[in-house]
Amino acid sequence: MPRLSAPGGLQTTTSYKVVLPFYTYGTFALLVAVGLLLGHTNIAKAHHFHPVTLSITHLMALGWGTMIILGASHQLLPVLIKGKLASNFLAYLSFGFMGIGIPFLVWGFYHFQFDWKIQLGAVLINIGVLSYVINVFKSIFESDGREVHAWFMATAAIWLFSTTFLGLLLVFNFTRSWLPSHSLAYLTLHAHMGIVGWFLLMVTGVGSRLIPMFLISKYSNKKLLWWIFSLINIGLISFIVFRSFHTASTAYYISIILTLIGIVIFGYYCFKARKTRIRKNVDYQMKLSLLSILQMLLPILALIVVLLLLPSQTHENLVLLYGFCIFFGWITAIIFGMTFKTLPFIVWNKVYSDMAHGVKLPAPKDLFNDKVFRVMLYLYPIAFVIFGLGIILKNDFLLKTGATALLLAALLYIYNSLITIFHKAKI
């Protein structure tokens, strides 16, 4: 019987049974969200507090972005903390509660009914998120590695729960007035806790390990990562303080600048990783992931324009552009790219890891259709730009064309995701 000694520890992987349901759910949530967008392009001309806009936003934020990131984070947590996932059961609970809660919540927003259905949805989502938070903390405390990446993940999980818990309060506040102000007054806080605290912190934390790993780069700079972590958190906390004390809107520039510096440093980190890469041929998935870092800057630009122009209340569409750049831009781009770096690994380990050596096995990249991926790669940014222009110009033709192209890109993504998920051994 062979013996293995691994003083540094051998990386353990999370079971595909935990991860794949999240990916599958997220894939279909994207399809529904883009379908809704195509069917209701008129929302681009309406106020952002619109039933369909709220439905699409929550489908994109929770059903698409969060479910995919939760799936990926269950898979990547061991990589980030040098340990293993504490509980598969908590992961299943997280999936189950969120998976049931999201449709209730979205249904409630769509019909603009703040009755028991939307409240049930919000409660279930919070239980699901809490299960995830407990799992993350349990995993971290049971592991040896409590480096900066673990801090990114733990803090992002706390921000996610803060976001969904405030969301829960807002849902109940529509009918019972628990909070000092009307729910609308808290929407900006709710949104930014999720966007910056959850998505940005998670993407930078995970990305700072995955991007060098997939580029096969030895670049690492923990000091820079601590700067990114601190700047993003201080930026968000300062925003919450300014917002809570009704500070003049110029104060928000402090929060924006801090966050922007954090993003720029993250971009620099990825640039250094790319520059020192051992693998010279950068694949399309990594190119799209690197492009998404640049896309992080678009919402910031839109936000600055909003802050400059909004007092006149004549540029409501820029608020929509800001949200569109985040959910259909940056978050979608990084998921489109990273899905086909992480998902094939998960499925490859499921299908081929037990197979005897001696035969040339397909590589993870062979599990999806590269041509379809490349068409999606070109179609998606074109669709994004067309729809974005449609929002700015309030042009029906551009909005419909952009939404149709987005739907096609989503269908290509779904096709490739499903053939990967249901891949059978080919040797």
Nearer to other proteins, 144 or 314 (CB): 144
Asked if 71 and 92 count as a contact pair (C-beta separation under 8 A), the reply is no
CB of 10 to other proteins, least distance (A): 5
| Nearer Cβ to other proteins (240/361) | 361
Residues constituting the chain:
427
Question: How many Å apart are CA 343 and CA 405, to the nearest integer?
Answer: 24
Q: How far is the CB of 156 from other proteins (least distance, A)?
A: 18
Could you tell me if 423 and 351 are in contact, meaning their C-beta atoms sit under 8 angstroms apart?
A: yes
> Which phi and psi (to 5°) does residue 280 adopt?
-75, -35
The alpha carbons of the chain give a radius of gyration, in whole angstroms, of 21
Minimum Å gap between C-beta 79 and other proteins is 4
Q: Which residue has the tokens 């009755």?
A: 115
- CA neighbor of 300 nearest in space, from 252, 353, 342: 252
Residue 8 or 180: the one with the smaller Cβ distance to other proteins is 8
Burial of 348 from C-beta contacts in 10 A (0-12 / 13-18 / 19+): buried
Residues that bind other proteins (CB under 8 A): 2-13, 75, 79-80, 82, 209, 213-214, 216, 218, 278-281, 345, 348-349, 352-354, 356-361, 363-364
Rank residues 188 and 349 by Cβ distance to other proteins and give the closer one.
349
Nearest distance from C-beta of residue 339 to other proteins, angstroms = 15
Rounded to the nearest whole angstrom, what is the least distance from the CB of residue 147 to other proteins in the complex?
A: 11
Contacts (Cβ under 8 Å, ≥6 apart) of 291: 333, 337, 381
User: Closest separation between CB of residue 134 and other proteins, Å?
Assistant: 24
Q: Quick one: 36 or 351, whose CB is closer to other proteins?
A: 351
Token reading at 383: 């669709």
Nearer to other proteins, 11 or 230 (CB): 11
